[in-house]
Every structure is written in structure tokens, then in C-alpha cells.
Amino acid sequence: MSDLNAAMAETAQKIEQFLEQFLTAQQLSAPLPAPERLVEAIRHGALNGGKRLRPVLVHFTANLFEHPQGDLIQAGAAIECVHCYSLVHDDLPDMDNDDLRRGKPTVHKAFDPATAILAGDALLTHAFALLADENCHPDPTLRNQLVIELVYGAGVGGMAGGQMRDIEGERKGYDPETISLIHAMKTGALIRASVRIGALMGGANPSELTNLTSFGEAAGRIYQLADDILDATQSSEQLGKTAGKDEAQGKSTLIASHGLDHANAVMRKELQSALSLLDAFGERATPLAQLVTHFAERKN
Amino acid sequence: MSDLNAAMAETAQKIEQFLEQFLTAQQLSAPLPAPERLVEAIRHGALNGGKRLRPVLVHFTANLFEHPQGDLIQAGAAIECVHCYSLVHDDLPDMDNDDLRRGKPTVHKAFDPATAILAGDALLTHAFALLADENCHPDPTLRNQLVIELVYGAGVGGMAGGQMRDIEGERKGYDPETISLIHAMKTGALIRASVRIGALMGGANPSELTNLTSFGEAAGRIYQLADDILDATQSSEQLGKTAGKDEAQGKSTLIASHGLDHANAVMRKELQSALSLLDAFGERATPLAQLVTHFAERKN
């Protein structure tokens, strides 16, 4: 897996560099001068050394194809801005009220809730300019499609809707179908969008796009199932975040309803079907196959 | 002015109809089913019978040109979604903490703050799909420009940055230059973007776009100067909102520093220069000239 780790680290580093240069007062001062405090809050929320899994998915998916076009890093950075916005808003006192994120104070702790709301809003807003920008891809129609894909990933039928369903679940309780839907929307939709954006930049034909969409949906489920299994089996120290949260919150995950062995079996089956969707791409699919296998086997 | 009122009411009604149909579970359920509560909160925040001034600006500006292309209502609706998102977030307890908006409970009062944050996020997100959508304009490159214009209007160098500066001003105090900058960012940037989007859809050439950008900036200043004058001279009953807010908040507006007569004189001068920017468009400019005159002369 050291090839995988190196390739992931390389993309993560390029994303970090891109965001480091893009999320500056200089880049964000149009039409009028960016307020320093907002730029700092945005940087606090986005330049945090994350794994940048969604840009890695864009990159590996586009590289299934021989001649991907456009700037995969710029497109990945747009998705990462949306991912970071969602973390900043989800952490707010009115939402999950988290004080720490990756061992650092959350944006509303380091600044204040109003600044965190605006920093999230701004990350979401500017993500779309990255995709609409001509450096992102030479075909303007395709750039329009990328914008729409990101809207679907982030919007009411995706991430924002998933967070809404999760908040409602906290009040009304969670049944297994609701949990699957929450996962598919909250985590799955942006993973799906990342794969589709990569596929579109690779030049996928309609049937390839359909297959890769299924792959992206499966990758999201695998990522989430592994999360549930880790939550149930690892200590907080091993995870670097609070373990046992699902049980504490009364979430009837697959593990709660059918046990750990069953959850592991479901995940292995999902992994097999995800891998089989990549068969048609031959050797070019190795990084993506390794990545989704890593999703299933990761330890934190 | 009855022609103006009729034309404004017609656009406002078309925007209301467009949003009525667009902001539904059916339209927003992709890739996965929209949660009802989020759709309701979005509709509460956006279907409120506002004057829809920004879509009116798009419409009147595009009609300076003989053959505007695309769906001006769809583009106007996108800007209106962004305007409504900004009201929903600005009203939040962590921001301006307002309970009422146009006589109705604000979204966080009618629902709760978490739902209001998500409703604002969702309105912002879906606005970009309206502009990237092929029904908005036949030219895909132009659609990308529209997306980028809206990002500039809403982003760090525009509305979100203006709200940040306003929050900082509440803590640090406001000097006249800061107040002008806050106005230009908070109110002006989206008005400017509306005019530019209208101009682009009208097919403005570069020098026309430059002039209309100046017009849009002047229109924003006129709108805001009138607001300041109304705040200082009208009763809360006449305004339908709290009067005398600027003085109470210690904002050193032009009125506080130079008096009402001076502010009125500045506004008249801005109006003359805005109107002169429309001269080249002849009779086609009548609605836009009437609109910016209305900005200056409005009583609430």
C-alpha cells in the first residue's frame, strides 16, 4: 500500500498548496478588499492538513482515462472547500457544538460563531468560482456540469439535506433506513460528486459515468460502514475522536441491529461489487481500487 | 411612475412564481430525497413577497439591449436566492439576532437556528445551479461568467466580507470610510452583480459593461444613502422597521458627520451621474432610469 500512501500524500500536498495560495486576501479581494479576519477564519477552517480524500478521488477517477483534461487539483480544491465549509458549519454551537477538530479549536472557538458562519458561507461560495473558472477545464459546457454536480453533492438532496435529516433523527430517533439515507446524503453525496467530477474530467462516456456513479455510491457506503465499525470497536485514543458515539446516541446502525460480523460481511460485499465496477478500466484502476480497499480496511 | 410600479410588480410576480416552483421537494431531490423540513424552511426564507429589486435590475439592464438572450427570470431568481440566504443568516441569533422579517418570524424563530443555517446554506448552493443550467443562457461560457459574477457579489470581496466588516465595526466603531466600504460590500456588491449579470445577458460589449458596472455601483450607493436618510428622518411606523438605528449604534454615517442636507446633495449628485451613464442607451434606458430615481426618492 506504500504506492497508495505516496499518491494520496502527493495529491493532499498539492491541494494544500493550491488552497494556501487561493485562500488569501489577494485572491479573494474582488470586487472589494477582503477583511483580514474573514480570510484568517477561512484559512483556519480549510488549511488543516486533512487527508483530502475527495480530491484524491477526483484525481484517481480522472486517471482511469488516458487523457483527462483540465486542472484536477483546482477541481479537487473546489470540492475540498465545500467539505471544509460543511465541517465549519456542522461544528457550530447551534449544530453539533464541537470545540475541537483534528486537535485544533474549531473555527467558532478560535474566532466566534458569527465569523464561523461567514467563513463557511464564503468557502461554499468561492468553491463554485473555482469550477466555473476557465483554468479548471477547457470545455465551458463541462464546467457548467461540474458546478451542477457540486450543487447536487452539497445541496438539499445531498449534504445539507443529510445534515437536516441527522438533526431530525436526534429528536425523533433513527431507524436503519433513515441512517442509511443520512449516510448517503451527509457523506455519500459529496464522495459520489467527487467521483463523477473526476469521471467527467476524464471524458467518461455515459455508460462509464453510470458505472462510476455506482462505484462512487458504493465507496461512500464503504467509507461510512468502516466508520461505524471503527466507532464500535476502537478506543477514542486509537480513533483520535470520541468512540462509541453511535451507541451513546441510540443510533440503530447495522451493527446495533445485526451485529459486527454482519456489518463486516456487508462491507466486504460492497467492496467486491465496487471493485468489479472498475474491472473494465484494467491496470489504470489500480490506485482507485487500492483507495476503496483502504476505505474498508482503515484503522482510523 | 405607474409604468415603473407595474413593471416592477410584473417581474416580482414572475420571480415569486419561479421560486414557488423551483423551491420544492420535487425540484430539490437530487440525487436523494429532500427532507421536508429543510424545504419548508427554505420556502419560509425565500417566498416572502419581497420587492425582488435585484431581479428587476437584471431585467431592466438586459433590456437596455435589443436582443437579450436567456431566461432573465431564472438568472434573477438565482440572485434572489443569494439575497434571501443572506437575510436568513444575518438574522441568526449569532449574527443580528432578529425575530421578525417583513412582519413574519425569521427562519430561526419559525424553525430553529440549525435549520436556518442549513436553509441559508442550501439557498446559496442551489443558486449556482440555476446559473449553470442550460436554460439560463444558450452560451455555456457566459453561464460560467454569470456564476463567477455571483461569487464576487456574494463572497469575501462582496456581501460576506461586508457582513464581516459590519460585525467588526460593532466592536471597534465605525468611521465614515469603513461605513462606505461596508455598504459597498454588504449591499452594493450584489446590486453591482445584478446589473453586470443583466448586462452580460444583454450582450454588452466591454465598454458598455464598464459603464454599467459604474452605474450598478452608483445604484448601490444611492440605495444605501436613501436608506440612511430614511433611517434618520422617518418613524418606525413609516419604515415598517426600527428607525434611528444608525444613531443608536453610533454609526458615523454621512448624515452624522455632515448633516442631512449634505447627504441629500451627495445623493442627488450620485443620481445625476448614474443617469448620465444611461444616456447612450436612449429610450431603452427609461425603466432603469426610473428605477434608480425611485431608489433615491423612495419613502420606505
Assess A10–B contact: CB distance below 8 Å, yes or no: no
DSSP secondary structure string for all residues of A165-226: HHHHHHHH---HHHHHHHHIIIIIHHHHHHHHHHHHHHT--HHHHHHHHHHHHHHHHHHHHH
Alpha carbon B122 to its chain centroid, in Å, reads: 18
Q: Which of B42, B97, B125 to mutate to test the interface with A (most CBs of A within 10 A)?
A: B125
Q: Which residues from chain B sit within 8 angstroms of residue A155, using beta carbons?
A: 28, 122, 125-126, 129
The pLDDT value recorded for residue B48 is 80
Q: Give the pLDDT confidence of A241-263 residue by residue, as tens digits.
A: 677 777 777 776 778 778 899 98
B209: contact with A, CB 8 A cutoff = no
* Chain A contact set for B189 (CB, 8 A): 31-32
Banded pLDDT at A237 (limits 50, 70, 90): confident
- pLDDT surpasses 60 at B58: yes
The mean predicted confidence, pLDDT, of chain B is 94
Q: How far is CA A133 from CA A46, A61, A138, B76, in A?
A: 20, 21, 9, 21
pLDDT band at B49 (very low <50, low <70, confident <90, very high): confident
In this predicted structure, what is the pLDDT of residue B170?
86
Paired residues of B31 in beta bridges: A157
Average predicted confidence (pLDDT) for chain A: 94
- The pLDDT score that the predictor gives to residue A102 is 87
- How confident is residue B252, by pLDDT bands cut at 50, 70 and 90? low
- How many angstroms separate the CA atoms of A245 and B11, rounded? 50
Q: How far is the C-alpha of A200 from the C-alpha of A149, rounded, in Å?
A: 10
Between positions 93 and 122 of B, the ones with CB within 8 A of A are 93-95, 112-115, 117-118, 120-122
- The yes-or-no verdict on residue B242 having pLDDT over 90 is no
**Which residue, chain included where needed, has cell 429528536?**
A171
Higher pLDDT, B298 or B267: B267
Q: Is the dihedral of CA B87, B93, B95, B97 positive or negative?
A: positive
CA A99/CA A240 separation, integer angstroms: 14
How far is B75 from B145, CA to CA, in rounded Å? 12
B132 or B232: which carries more pLDDT confidence? B132
Segment A215-224 shows an average pLDDT of: 97
- Let me know how many helices (H) and strands (E) chain A has, helices first: 17, 2
Which helix (H) or strand (E) segment holds residue A263: the answer is helix A260-276
- Distance between A250 CA and the closest CA of chain B, angstroms: 21
Question: What confidence tens digit (pLDDT) does each residue in A41-57 have?
Answer: 999 999 987 899 999 99
According to the model, what pLDDT value does residue B248 have?
A: 75
Tell me what the mean pLDDT of segment B65-89 comes to: 98
Provide Rg for chain B, Cα atoms. Answer: 19
Cis bond upstream, residue A31 (ω within 30): yes
Reduced DSSP (H G I as helix, E B as strand, rest coil) percent helix, strand, coil of chain A, to 5: 75, 0, 25
What count of other Cβ atoms lies within 10 Å of the Cβ of residue B255?
22
B138 touches chain A (CB under 8 A): no
Please check the confidence at residue B1 and state whether its pLDDT lies above 60: no
Which residues in chain A have their CB less than 8 angstroms from residue B32's CB?
Answer: 157-158, 161-162, 181, 184-185, 189
Alpha helices, DSSP H, located in B133-188: 140-154, 159-172, 176-183
Burial class (CB in 10 A: 0-12, 13-18, 19+), A291: buried
Q: In this complex, which of B117, B124, B145 lies closest to A125 when CB atoms are compared? A: B124
pLDDT of A1 strictly over 60 = no
pLDDT in tens, B261-285: 998 999 999 999 999 999 999 999 9
Q: How much is the ipTM here?
A: 0.96
Q: Region B113-139: what's the mean pLDDT?
A: 98
Domains and CATH numbers, chain B: 2-297 (1.10.600.10)
Q: What is the DSSP letter of B157?
A: B
CB atoms within 10 A of CB A141: 14
Q: Report whether pLDDT(B151) > 80.
A: yes
Cα B231 from Cα A132, distance rounded (Å): 40
Note whether A218 and A205 are within 8 A (CB): no
Q: Min CA distance, A190 vs chain B (Å)? A: 10
Whether the Cβ atoms of residue B145 and residue B197 lie closer than 8 Å to each other? no
Tens of pLDDT, residue by residue over A89-124, are 999 999 999 999 988 999 999 999 999 999 999 999
Chain B interface includes A179 (CB < 8 A)? no
pLDDT over threshold 70, residue B299: yes
* Cβ contact B186:B96 at 8 Å: no
- Which of B39, B40, B128, B141 to mutate to probe the A interface, most A CBs <10 Å? B128
Tens digits of residue pLDDT in B172-229: 888 888 999 999 999 999 999 999 999 999 999 999 999 999 999 999 999 999 988 9
